Amino acid sequence: MAKQPAALRDHLVLQGYFLAQFGFTNFSALRAYLLETPLDSLDPLGDILARLHRHGAGRHLSGEQMQRCEGALKSYHRLLCTRRHQPDIELKYFQVLAILFSELYFDAYFRDAAALRADLNRFHERASAGAPVTPFRESDLQKLAFWMATGSGKTLLMHIHYWQLLKFAPGHWDNMLLITPNAGLSRQHAEEFQRSGIPCRVYDGNPDHLQTPADTVVILDIHKLEENKTSEGVRVDIACFEGRNLVFIDEGHKGQRSVEQRWKKLRERLAAGGMILEYSATFGQIIGKNRFLLDEYAKSILFDYAYRHFFHDGYGKAFRTYNLRTGPLAEGYSRRMLGASLLTFFAQLNAYRRHRAEVRRYQIETPLWVFVGSRVAGKKLESDILQVVRFLRELLRYPERLRELLQTQTALLNGKGGLLADSVGEELTRLAEADLPLESIYQTLFYGKGELTLWEIRHGEGEIGLKTGGSPHYFGVINVGDVATLKKLLEAEGLTVETDHFSSSLFDQIHHIEKPLHVLIGSKKFIEGWNSWRVANMVLMNMGKGEGPQIVQLFGRGVRLKGQRFSLRREAAPAPALRLLQTLYLFGLNADYMNSFLSAIRQEGLDPEKPDRPALKPSGEGPGAPVSATASPSPLPCQRVQPNPALLSRLRVDVRPRLTMVHSEKDAGKSAALNLAGRLRAQADFLDWDQLLLSAIRFKRHSDRAHLILEREAIRSIIRDGDYTLYALPEQLEVRQFEDLDTLQQIAEQVLQAYLLAY
């Protein structure tokens, strides 16, 4: 068996060293010890530090050291509350631990770096025998990393680290820099620094503005950095930052190997002779199987509170994912997935409106429905956006379509074995009644009905607003990079894009607008650093399979939760309405994308069981999938294929598109399908038997069944007269237009292939 690649979380040597100072061998043991007392009853500073010292029994840290640490942490906390004018800021236990480990590290490093390195290597040699991690070098001590889940408070942790480094190394830094992945996140960090009273300046492309007062943080996105700059433009050569640089990095990874290598080189050049502090939710995805990166980050991650810890401690929302398993016979069923998402989102929005007073103390905000693609230009994303626009236009223009759509969702979502039946309680039960509140959906979600109108927002970068014809209020916004190309595609669909010269950016107002936007469609702009607590329902369109880090960041956008008294925690036994509002619902229109998404979540340490429900099965009970054949050990005698009544009666063929659901509460999955049809007897006259024979000949060659002899009449008898069971949706067997003949032909091929596999 091939050796499995080492997992980063199993080799965090630097964190292990500081855990050992308190008598723990791993973070789970520390967490279990602290959770003997409920988190909410712990004094984050006094009680936690006292209990840690008692557990360590003073073997490594004296009482005097712990008193100094407690005094320092309390001073940072007071400074944070005072500067931000928020006296009720409460540090969570994991934030206290991260700050405590930082305090101990900086104290040891700036007092005697050589002694710290020697001590780390003694610990590494003793505790990590056989681990794929090399001994610490001097340069390894110049980089610290914090593996923190999105929503766990990385920003405030960075601010406290700034104050720690001013205390331990006053006047030591020639430049202080914060590197971000994009300009929007740079602006957001500037606002947060200013709230904490930390002097900062966002780089505006003017090199003269790089000269700043002492202890001022220059904030710039990675795209503005360049080495050996030779051209004009807003980029800055890293040579401008000479001397000892303190470099903060927030989510400095992109996932693309070539880009990542270039950025990593720039970051390291900047911090040569100084220090890097890096914050990310996605170290596990970035490092993957790269043993060199594993070695580097195993020695630099000082604190690991990745999503697996965050979720298991009860922080953030629960989540449920629904994946449409696509294929040639499932084309067109993405509309049903959009309908399921619409119904669920309206239930969330309705629950919020009906129970606003009750959920206010949990700081729940107006739910937001988000459609996420990958690229801001290119046919794939544009087709995704057009698909959503067509869906919305049809529902707004034809109310009967909405009624029909919701009625078809009722059995799928709420019937026996329905995917959403256990989780949405009274809200979806009310909506599933025969008299569906169509007018309520139109007025609540879209602010009206009628023709869909689109407006390019001149004061919003890459924005097209969505309205209904008779409403003055926008209900949604499309946000992409290439508006001009998208406008041409929309106009080709018969949609005119008007110009709004007066409204300010809808995206920037998404949290402050009087009539809240309910729909956000577009690109990855709202993956990295978008500070929103509203995301309740996501439709995942297309994204690269290798973009694990961005998938985790996207997931982090959705599971953020303020919680009661800003606890960040979901309620353990919520009322139905609150359960609906503290759950993130994710609907996948692309099976590969959702599989990548679930794989990335598994890498975070959560392993929801993905059911393996094949689509075809040659025999036995229930539906299945084609079984891959193995090569025969010796040639088989030729055999003429004939209808076998006993074999046909056991044959089960399932061609229905299926939904697969994974949810966080039980880490389990289930599937749902819709209707049972019959056989292809009534459709036999529509089939091309010659084409079916050729298809079957190709199949038998590729499945090691070359010894089978196929004849046209035998195939006709098997398909037309066989007593097999065919699971299909009624509309899959109807012939209403020419394209339906292709669907029937593919279904017949699958029936014949299943028979040949079982023969």
pLDDT in tens, 284-331: 777 766 777 888 899 999 999 988 888 888 898 988 887 765 555 555
Return d(Cα 206, Cα 100) in angstroms, integer: 38
Is pLDDT larger for residue 415 or for residue 542? 542
3-state per-residue secondary structure call for 348-373: HHHHHHHCHHHHHHHCCCCCEEEEEC
Q: How many Å is the maximal CA-CA distance in the chain?
A: 93
Q: What is the pLDDT of residues 478-489, one digit of tens each?
A: 988 788 888 888
Query: Looking at 21-30, 364-373, 551-560, which range is the least confident one?
Result: 551-560
Chain-centre distance for alpha carbon 592? 14
What is the mean predicted confidence (pLDDT) over 473-498?
88
> What local confidence, expressed as pLDDT, does residue 326 receive?
54
Mean pLDDT over 410-439 rounds to 52
Encoded amino acid at 444, one letter? T
- Dist CA 15 CA 23 (whole Å): 13
Residue 191 binned pLDDT confidence (cut-offs 50, 70, 90): very high
Q: What percent of the chain has pLDDT over 90?
A: 26
CB 248 within 8 A of CB 217: yes
Helix/strand/coil for 632: coil
Q: How confident is the model at residue 415 (pLDDT cuts 50, 70, 90)?
A: very low
pLDDT at 431: 57
Q: pLDDT band at 76, cuts 50/70/90?
A: very high
Predicted local distance difference test score (pLDDT) of residue 421: 47
Residue 2 has pLDDT above 70, yes or no: no
Two structure tokens written together for 182: 């994009």
Confidence of residue 198 (pLDDT cuts 50, 70, 90): very high
Between helix 13-20 and helix 27-34 the angle, nearest 10°, is 40
Confidence at 548, pLDDT banded by 50, 70, 90: low
Q: For position 581, what pLDDT does the model report?
A: 92
Quick one: pLDDT at residue 537? 93
What is the band of 162 on the pLDDT scale with cuts at 50, 70, 90? very high
Residue (of 619, 711, 722, 612) closest to 678 by Cα position: 722
Please state, in angstroms and rounded to a whole number, the distance separating the CA atoms of residues 490 and 498: 11
Strand order in the sheet with 616-617: 616-617, 652-654, 725-727
Comparing 616 with 686, which gets the higher pLDDT? 686
Q: In the prediction, which pLDDT does 116 show?
A: 96
Instruction: List 247's β-bridge partners, or say none.
Output: 177, 276
pLDDT for 410 beyond 70: no
Q: Evaluate if residue 46 carries a pLDDT over 50.
A: yes
Which of 318, 327, 349, 324 is closest to 338 using CA atoms? 324
Structure tokens at 713: 């009449």
Whether residue 647 is predicted with pLDDT greater than 90 in this model: the reply is no
CB atoms within 10 A of CB 421: 16
Mean pLDDT (the chain, rounded): 79
Closest CA relative to residue 46, chosen from 24, 26, 66:
66
**CA gap 649, 461 in Å, rounded:** 62
Instruction: Report how far residue 619's alpha carbon sits from residue 602's, in angstroms, rounded to the nearest whole number.
Output: 33
Please say whether the beta carbons of 23 and 58 come within 8 A. no
The CA distance from 661 to 329, in Å, is: 20
In whole angstroms, give the CA distance from residue 118 to residue 126: 12
Sequence letter at residue 699: F
How far apart CA 263 and CA 246 sit, in angstroms, is: 17
Mean pLDDT to the nearest integer, 184-194: 91
pLDDT of residue 170: 93
Worst-scoring range by mean pLDDT, 336-340, 506-510, 645-649? 336-340
311: tokens are 């979720």
Instruction: Indicate the pairing of strand 200-202 with strand 217-221.
Output: parallel
pLDDT: which is higher, 266 or 613:
266
Residue 404, pLDDT above cutoff 80? no
- Displacement of CA 609 from its chain's centroid (Å): 17
Mean pLDDT of 164-193: 91
Per-residue pLDDT, averaged over 600-604, amounts to 65
Which among 82-91, 318-327, 644-653 has the top mean pLDDT?
82-91
Q: Of 470, 461, 491, whose CA–CA distance to 389 is shortest?
A: 491
**pLDDT above 60 for 586:** yes
Residue 571 main-chain phi, psi, to 5 deg: -75, 140
Q: Is the pLDDT of residue 502 over 50?
A: yes
Tokens of 39: 């988190």
Instruction: Answer whether residue 620 shows pLDDT above 70.
Output: no
Mean pLDDT computed over 631-652: 73
Beta bridge partners of 319: 584
543: closest CA among 306, 376, 339, 326? 376
pLDDT: which is higher, 501 or 670: 501
DSSP state of 748: H
Instruction: Name the residue with tokens 């697996």.
Output: 308
| Mean pLDDT of all residues in 255-267 | 65
CA distance 320 to 745: 35
The predicted pLDDT at position 370 comes to: 93
Question: Global pTM?
Answer: 0.76
Q: What is the mean pLDDT of residues 52-80?
A: 85
**Mean pLDDT across 603-614:** 46
Confidence label for 140 from pLDDT (cuts 50, 70 and 90): very high
Q: Does residue 362 carry a pLDDT above 50?
A: yes
Is the backbone of residue 667 left (phi > 0), alpha (psi -120 to 50) or beta?
left
> Which of 97-106, 351-360, 414-423 is modeled with the greatest confidence?
97-106
What pLDDT, on a 0 to 100 scale, did the predictor assign at position 80?
Answer: 95
pLDDT given for residue 429 in this prediction: 56
More confident residue, 222 or 331: 222
Distance CA 467, CA 451 (A): 8
**According to the per-residue pLDDT averaged within each range, which of 247-256, 490-499, 535-544, 644-653 is highest?**
490-499
- Angstrom distance (rounded) from CA 432 to CA 31: 43
